[in-house]
């Protein structure tokens, strides 16, 4: 065994509004010999996700805030290069939460050995095959109770969760699937590649107007990744008995002032709507069923996916910011190059 230098990105200060280059710092950490039960993993891909913005604030949430001056954590996939554990052997592909570093050396119990995905990179465990895909599945089924023939509206449709949501909705029997995204290229991808029946660029005209045009028969299920004007527009278009899965509100994550609530929430009363927020940790019992379904769909060629890949662990903060600003199609990942 030998020492190894790991390049890691830490939270240097808590941001107000949008994070800047001062929010993060890159450091080198030297790992010595493995302690009993530890493994050394070279990360191939690390994930950048919107929820990380919330964890940069020192507030109570469903996951604790990131600690200042410590290496950021988050989803990552890599390969075991040294092992002092019988359960996690050298060569195994592993999924874990020791992200934002190129090499991780930790207790083996924090690493899940995962099978190779035939013909696809391990990064899919951070996207469509992983918590991202599961979020889409859980939101549609356990939260929004999708029915055959439903009209489904997905906001943030060209991102990681959104591209999964439209396809899964269709595979589970939705009647009409519409989505919104932030560029003409993304809108074209939604209809040409991801099976959306119609899509619009929310930057072109008010969401209220554009959503009305693509949903002549109203909306039965709204899967909301965005909040704000998208939620208001959907509340206007919901059919009686409609269900709204509140998955995220990315339009507000960098706000510095309190944002006003929807001006039409009373529609929930008069139309008997269900609005339910969710976070994945409460729904992990759906993971096995999701994996079975996704494995079948994937093998049958029924799932398209895109990844936006940024190279170099030191570029992880920039990748995070680019993703928050819409610089990604599908899942944004960083290839560590280690």
Ligand X SMILES: NC(=O)c1ccc[n+]([C@@H]2O[C@H](COP(=O)([O-])OP(=O)(O)OC[C@H]3O[C@@H](n4cnc5c(N)ncnc54)[C@H](OP(=O)(O)O)[C@@H]3O)[C@@H](O)[C@H]2O)c1
Residues that bind ligand X (CB under 6 A): 49-51, 132, 135, 156, 158-162, 181-183, 186, 202, 225-226, 247-248, 250-251, 278-280, 323-324, 326, 328, 332
Q: Smallest distance, Å, CB 32 to ligand X? A: 35
Q: Which of 37, 32, 36, 42 is nearest to 88 (CA)?
A: 37
Smallest separation (angstroms) from ligand X to the CB of 332: 6
CA–CA separation, 24 and 10 (whole Å): 6
Of 274 and 280, nearer to ligand X (C-beta) is 280
Shortest CB 283 distance to ligand X, Å: 8
CB closer to ligand X out of 82 and 322: 322
For the chain, report the end-to-end CA distance as a whole number of angstroms: 18
186's CB contacts (< 8 A; 6+ apart) are: 157, 158, 199, 201, 329
Between 41 and 207, whose beta carbon lies closer to ligand X? 207
User: Helices 287-299 & 131-138, crossing angle to 10 degrees?
Assistant: 100
Task: For strands 238-246 and 219-224, give the pairing.
Answer: parallel
* Residue closer to ligand X (CB basis): 156 or 242: 156
Q: Distance of CA 99 to CAs 95, 163, 175, 296, Å? A: 10, 23, 39, 29
Nearer to ligand X, 88 or 334 (CB): 334
* Smallest gap from residue 247 Cβ to ligand X (A): 5
Least Cβ distance, residue 211 to ligand X (angstroms): 13
């Amino acid at each position: 065994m030998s020492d190894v230098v790991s390049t890691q990105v830490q939270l240097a200060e808590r941001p107000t509004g949008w994070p800047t280059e001062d929010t993060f710092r890159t450091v080198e950490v030297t790992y010595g010999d493995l302690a009993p039960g530890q493994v050394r993993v070279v990360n191939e891909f690390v994930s950048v996700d919107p929820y990380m913005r919330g964890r940069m604030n020192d507030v109570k949430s469903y996951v604790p805030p990131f600690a200042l001056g410590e290496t950021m954590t988050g989803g990552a996939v890599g390969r075991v290069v040294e092992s002092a554990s019988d359960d996690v052997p050298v060569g195994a592909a592993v999924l874990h939460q020791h992200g934002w570093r190129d090499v991780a050396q930790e207790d083996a119990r924090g690493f899940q050995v995962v099978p190779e995905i035939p013909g696809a990179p391990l990064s899919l465990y951070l996207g469509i095959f992983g918590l991202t895909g599961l979020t889409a599945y859980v939101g549609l089924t356990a939260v929004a109770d999708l029915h055959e023939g439903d009209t489904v509206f997905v906001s943030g449709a060209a991102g990681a969760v959104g591209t999964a949501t439209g396809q899964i909705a269709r595979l589970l029997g939705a009647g009409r699937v519409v989505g919104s995204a932030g560029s003409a290229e993304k809108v074209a991808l939604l209809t040409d590649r991801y099976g959306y029946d119609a899509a619009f660029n929310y930057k072109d005209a008010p969401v209220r107007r554009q959503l009305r045009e693509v949903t002549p028969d109203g909306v039965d299920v709204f899967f909301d990744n965005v909040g704000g004007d998208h939620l208001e527009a959907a509340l206007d278009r919901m059919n009686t008995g409609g269900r709204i899965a509140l998955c995220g509100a990315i339009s507000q994550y960098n706000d510095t002032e309190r944002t006003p609530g929807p001006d039409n929430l009373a529609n929930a009363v008069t139309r008997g709507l269900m609005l339910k927020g969710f976070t994945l940790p409460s729904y992990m019992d759906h993971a096995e069923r999701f994996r079975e379904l996704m494995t079948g769909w994937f093998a049958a060629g029924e799932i398209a996916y895109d990844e936006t890949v940024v190279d170099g662990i030191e570029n992880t903060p920039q990748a995070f910011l680019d993703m928050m600003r819409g610089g990604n199609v599908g899942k944004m990942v960083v290839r560590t190059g280690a």
